[in-house]
Amino acid sequence: MLEKEIPEHLKSTYNLLTKAFPNGVTESQYLHILGILYEHMSNRNLSEIVSLYKIKVLA
């Protein structure tokens, strides 16, 4: 995804996720990430960041 397509208010979260998990996440990590982000983001922003990051759940 191009940097300009990421809304300004989500850039820091997007950058954090892509640097921390460049190859995707396990299902367990995914659930923990959602739990952590849920406490700090609105449902709308959370769903947007998940779709922007295109979280890949690894088997």
| Phi-psi map region of 54: left, alpha, beta (phi>0 left; psi -120 to 50 alpha) | left
Q: Read off the DSSP letter of residue 10.
A: G
* Structure confidence by residue, pLDDT tens digits, 1-45: 455 689 999 999 999 998 998 888 888 888 899 999 999 999 999
* Domain positions in the chain: 3-58
Distance (Å, whole) CA 24 – CA 52:
13
pLDDT at res. 37: 94
pTM (2 d.p.): 0.75
- On the question of pLDDT at 54 being above 70, the answer is no
* pLDDT value at residue 59: 58
- The rounded distance, in Å, linking the Cα atoms of 34 and 38 is 6
Cα separation, 24 vs 58, whole angstroms: 6
